[in-house]
């Protein structure tokens, strides 16, 4: 059996914008691959090319061994698609929409069961436009899964979902993988990619800039470890930097979440806690370890916001 997805030298331009710029990617059958990258990196474009919606300018794409455009008729019954947003009549009821997609499949899952599982049992008769953003996402996910596909493309499946729904989706993804379904997803949640994916591909400006298993990616880019702790937001990180020897980088990655990058030895830990004590704050959840995927991602793609 060949790969679930195999892309070589893929290029896609929109006018003067090169959305995908020589991208290579391989995903084995039964695998779960997470495509990461900043906004506008070309993730959706790549996925839509795999689904046969967008015509590539250069390169070859094989999905389940088929050309998504030429062999679309043979391919579409075998894949499930969750687009990034939209994908339903505004006035359609949740159960009607899922029923319609289910009717297109030979041996679909029970739509009513799937709606219940996804917490939409009470919204069966609610028109799509009156579902909340997270509920719309869940319906869209249901549409991708209902036909029992062998490969699913999920474009930011957990975007806009509350923590409970997100956890449910993670369980679903685990179950899909256990049952042998190949999954290609895009996400901005590093935690999601790190815990679920067999393979991670990071793209930026339409090119692959790093790939590998989550542990390989974090190990590869972890020449130096880091120290993380939580304290009240707004501590003066410059001051803490000054208290440490040359070459240590201190930042507040999220309000109240601090990271000290550099070679973490006992002396550094002691300096940090002592400095906190001087400020009259308790350093909580002090943790020394290799960098997580988010650090690696920021390192690779830069810390500036893309415009």
Ligand X SMILES: Nc1ncnc2c1ncn2[C@@H]1O[C@H](COP(=O)(O)OP(=O)(O)OP(=O)(O)O)[C@@H](O)[C@H]1O
Q: Does 237 bind Mg ion (CB under 5 A)?
A: no
Rounded-to-integer distance, Cα 103 and Cα 273, Å: 62
Q: Does 15 bind other proteins (CB under 8 A)?
A: no
Rounded-to-integer distance, Cα 42 and Cα 47, Å: 9
Instruction: Give the nearest distance from C-beta 144 to ligand X in angstroms.
Output: 17
Residue 167 interface partner, choices Mg ion, other proteins, ligand X, none, CB cut-off 5-8 Å depending on type: other proteins
Instruction: Give the nearest distance from C-beta 33 to other proteins in angstroms.
Output: 17
Among 3-11, 12-20, 87-95, 102-110, which window interacts with ligand X (CB under 6 A)? Answer: 12-20
Six token digits for residue 111:
């739509």
Rounded-to-integer distance, Cα 168 and Cα 158, Å: 10
> What mask, x for binding ligand X by CB under 6 A, covers residues 52 to 71?
--------------------
Helix axes 94-103, 133-145, angle to 10 degrees: 20
Give whichever of 159 and 257 is closer to ligand X, judged by the CB atom.
Answer: 159
Residues binding ligand X: what is the number (CB under 6 A)? Answer: 12
For 172, the 3-state DSSP assignment is helix
Q: Find out whether 124 and 93 touch, Cβ atoms under 8 Å.
A: yes
Q: Does 141 bind other proteins (CB under 8 A)?
A: no
Query: Could you say which DSSP state residue 306 is in?
Result: P
* Ranges within 258-287 binding other proteins (CB under 8 A): none
Q: Does 83 bind ligand X (CB under 6 A)?
A: no
Residue 94 phi/psi, 5° resolution? Answer: -50, -45
Burial of residue 118 (CB within 10 Å: 0-12, 13-18, 19+) is: buried
> What mask, x for binding Mg ion by CB under 5 A, covers residues 35 to 74?
--------xx------------------------------
Residue 178 interface partner, choices Mg ion, ligand X, other proteins, none, CB cut-off 5-8 Å depending on type: other proteins
Residues binding other proteins: what is the number (CB under 8 A)? Answer: 52
Burial of residue 67 (CB within 10 Å: 0-12, 13-18, 19+) is: middle
Chain residues that interact with ligand X, rule: CB under 6 A: 14, 17, 19, 37, 39-45, 84
């Amino acid at each position: 059996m060949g790969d679930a997805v195999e892309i070589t030298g893929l290029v896609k331009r929109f006018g003067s914008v090169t959305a995908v710029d020589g991208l290579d990617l391989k995903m084995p059958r039964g695998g779960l691959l997470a495509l990461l990258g900043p906004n506008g990196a070309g993730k959706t474009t790549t996925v839509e090319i795999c689904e046969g919606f967008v015509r590539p300018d250069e390169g070859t794409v094989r999905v389940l061994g088929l050309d998504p455009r030429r062999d679309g008729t043979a391919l579409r019954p075998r894949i499930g698609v969750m687009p990034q947003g939209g994908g339903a009549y505004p006035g359609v009821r949740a159960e009607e929409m899922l029923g319609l997609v289910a009717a297109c499949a030979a041996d679909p899952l029970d739509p009513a069961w799937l709606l219940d599982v996804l917490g939409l049992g009470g919204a069966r008769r609610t028109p799509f436009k009156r579902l909340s953003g997270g509920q719309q996402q869940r319906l869209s996910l249901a549409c991708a899964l209902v036909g029992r596909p062998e490969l699913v493309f999920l474009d930011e499946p957990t975007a806009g979902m509350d923590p409970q729904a997100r956890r449910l989706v993670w369980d679903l993804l685990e179950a899909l993988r256990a049952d042998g379904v190949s999954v290609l997803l895009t996400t901005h949640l590093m935690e999601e990619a790190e815990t679920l994916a067999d393979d991670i591909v990071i793209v930026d400006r339409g090119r692959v800039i790093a790939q590998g298993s989550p542990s390989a990616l974090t190990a590869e880019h972890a020449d130096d470890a880091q120290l993380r702790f939580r304290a009240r937001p707004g501590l003066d990180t410059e001051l803490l930097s000054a208290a440490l020897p040359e070459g240590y980088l201190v930042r507040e990655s999220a309000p109240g979440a601090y990271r000290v990058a550099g070679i973490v030895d006992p002396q550094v830990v002691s300096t940090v806690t002592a400095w906190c004590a001087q400020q009259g704050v308790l350093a909580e959840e002090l943790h020394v370890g290799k960098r997580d995927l988010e650090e690696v991602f920021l390192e690779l793609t830069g810390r500036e916001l893309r415009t």
